[in-house]
Amino acid sequence: MQWGGRFGAGPAAVMQAINVSIGFDRKLWQQDITGSRAHAAMLGAQGILSATDVAAIDEGLAAIAEEIEAGRFGFIDALEDIHTNIEVRLTERIGEAARRLHTARSRNDQVATDFKLWVRGAIDDVSAQVKDLMRALAERAAAHAASVMPGFTHLQTAQPVTFGHHLLAYVEMLSRDAGRLADARARLNECPLGAAALAGTSFPIDRQMTAQTLGFERPTANSLDSVSDRDFALEYLSALSILAMHLSRFAEEIIIWCSSPYRLISLSDAFTTGSSIMPQKRNPDAAELTRAKTGRIFGALLGLLTVMKGLPMAYAKDMQEDKEPVFDATDAISLCLAATAGMVRDMQADTARMAALAGSGFSTATDLADWLVRVLGMPFRDAHHVTGRIVKLAEDQGVELAHVKLADMQAVEPRITEAVYKVLTVEASVASRTSYGGTAPVRVAAAAAKWLEVLA
């Protein structure tokens, strides 16, 4: 056991191992430098720092950013975190002026600001990927506005729909995900910098200036809340969790559609893998891994909720555990979005197979019931009963509804005429669903066109 046993340097080594965060919070280097430059500029504007010190700090931080970007920066574990690593390096470069940078701020408001900036950027990146996936789905939906496929409830054939209609359902889901991300971004867009450790500062700082420089709408209103709040990270993870759930549902459908009993779509070798012993297999591993990574994202949310649930005001070191789950969930959702968009653009629909299965399971039974109501004036509950008897006839004869003889239908309901057969095809069924939001090809084409215009 690495930290076990009775050895003299043990506690210090254990403390360093549990306390150090530079291994993961180095991701915040850009945000830390950006926040420090804004803070220094404000201190200069308020006369708290001299113009000479501000210029030295700004030039030094810009040079450190270039070092990190070029891979020349030596991160030091003993310095604990990204903030100290940068501050020590700044002191090496510019001397005494670097020691004045921390005036009127604390590590507490500094890290909260850095983390908010990072999450805000992550929301923008993820939102762009969500919209790209929506565009991919809308493009395929437009191409398959009239491609008939079976619609399911309880994974049983229910009514015919079009493939385009099915894909647009996920566009609607994703649009809500984009909305949740936008809401989370709007709510987090308040700047904690200047709250200091927990009580504010006695220096005459201008928090409005700092907030504006960093692109925040306003400074946070309460210094205690400023440093202890991680709602923004929790809300972001919550939005990612719902998004991941939607991606997982779609991944499950891709897996089902690719399976041998269905064979509604196929994926190329770009998004499938082979079997180690079965040469005929093409496994939809990209979809399966998208489905699986949902668990990681859910776990990140639950983990951070658990970290935060028992913390009193204001800051506690527990909050160091906020970043890794957010970083990991962001990496996971970004990969899943890229994989899903790739599969959507890659998949090939077997429209003949879709149409054949669309008519199975007496899927036009509701159309028959609707015809009985519309043409014969029958109450729907009576029409439902009559249709059920005709379905039983078809089942006993081993034929689909469209192949039940008129005389047999009339034995159940004498008023049925030859005209009934016009509504019993899957094409007629989907064409009739012209209500707003329905699966009629004309509706699907219009909805796909609307989304493509919105997403252009």
Angle between helices 163-188 and 107-143 (to 10 degrees): 160
Dihedrals phi, psi of 230, to nearest 5 degrees: -130, 25
Longest distance between any two alpha carbons in the chain, whole Å: 100
Nearest to 348 by CA among 430, 449, 271: 271
Q: Are strands 265-266 and 218-219 parallel, antiparallel or unpaired?
A: unpaired
326-356 in b/e form (b: 16+ CB < 10 A) is: bbbbbebbeebbebbbbbbebbebbbeebbe
Which of 154, 202, 260, 276 is labelled catalytic? 154
CA angle 387, 393, 397 (to 5 degrees): 145
Residue 40 in contact with residue 58, Cβ under 8 Å?
A: yes
Map tokens 């009963």 to a residue.
385
CA angle 340, 441, 388 (to 5 degrees): 100
268 is catalytic: no
DSSP 389-456: HHHHHHHHHT--GGGS-HHHHHHH-TT--GGGGGGSSHHHHHHH--STT---HHHHHHHHHHHHHHH-
Helices (H), 82-157: 82-94, 96-99, 107-143
102 is catalytic: no
Residue 109 in contact with residue 39, Cβ under 8 Å?
A: no
Angle between helices 163-188 and 441-455 (to 10 degrees): 30
How far apart are alpha carbons 20 and 30 in whole angstroms? Answer: 19
The number of residues in the chain equals 456
Question: What is residue 355's DSSP assignment?
Answer: H
Which of 268, 275, 360, 403 is labelled catalytic? 275
Residue 193 in contact with residue 113, Cβ under 8 Å?
A: yes
- Pull the structure tokens for residue 280: 């005929």
Catalytic site residues?
Answer: 154, 275
